[in-house]
Amino acid sequence: MNVCITVGGLGSEQVARLQAALLGHVVTICSSAPEAEKRAAVAAAEVVFGNVPAPWLNAAVGLRWVQLDSAGVDAYLKINDTPRAVPVLLTNLSGFYDRAVAEGALAGILALYRQLPRLLAAQTASCWVKTAVEPDICALDGNVALLLGAGSIGQRVAHLLAAFDVRCRFFSRTPRPGGLHTLAELASAFATTDLLINTLPHTPETIGFISRERLTLLKRGAVVVNVGRGSTLDETALVDFLDSGHLGGAVLDVTAVEPLPLSSPLWGHPKVLLTQHTGGRFPAEADRKIEVFLSNVARFQKGVALAHRVELARGY
């Protein structure tokens, strides 16, 4: 089996671990190789571990399986549009980042509620702003959170918020007991929502899902948190509603364009906290990715179903 590994940030011990586990196979680890060399390794591979530009995979005529090192799969949904003898299996890291992303979301919410960005700016400027800041400090206790998406990230966020006595409601495509399922139910829930937390993936159905019309329905002073995908949120409308005072703030780990263009008004907006898509980072992340991959290698060799297989038609 010809295996191409493109995951970045691997140390010598991790490389040795992969080589030992894949002994007997042709293994090319090209995380830091020049582009031409990396493209050639991908083209020759039967198995790719890591994210590479999706068009590169078109040249891999013998490709059988791609294990992404991300949860997002947006760029790879047309992987089987290239004719091959057998369809390529695509797996991702679904559920891999749930704890880290949930902690990042909670950190951002608490920072806004406790006015930490303003206080940190004042600290840098050696400016005492206690009197000005205190009236804007908020508490989570008794708030209502509406989570778009009921997957592992949403469930973990709700678990953390429960410790602050926040009442959480879920909206998901799949009906769940006590959850919201229809768009009418969702619309009616916006008026009593203090925290709108988006964990939705990028699919044709979710592009622009948090639209100007839906933001209009939100309770005045609500905070919008996006840890899903930037494509789901109308950022122009968000800024308009922040400026008008209709919305109280926004925590954005993801944006529609990344890196965020310098011209974006989100950079300097006093009600926006940008965490620059760092929500999924955690210690020993690379080791955990290797564990997932090698577990799936064992499944692949046995011909059994792979864990975290992406349903291309559904988009996740």
The H or E element containing residue 2 is: strand 2-5
Instruction: Enumerate the H helices of 138-254 as residue ranges.
Output: 152-162, 183-190, 212-217, 235-244
Give the max Cα distance, the chain. Answer: 70
The H or E element containing residue 28 is: strand 26-29
List phi, psi (to 5°) of 181.
-125, -40
Distance CA 219, CA 245 (A): 11
CA distances from 88 to 1, 85, 148 (A): 15, 9, 30
Question: From the CA atom positions of the chain, what is the Rg in Å?
Answer: 22
Other beta carbons less than 10 A from residue 62's beta carbon: 13
Rounded to the nearest angstrom, the gap between the alpha carbon of residue 51 and the centroid of all alpha carbons in its chain is: 15
Active-site positions?
229, 277
Distance CA 37, CA 90 (A): 23
Q: Which residues contact 198 (CB under 8 A, 6 or more apart)?
A: 148, 149, 209, 210, 224, 225, 226, 227, 228, 232, 233
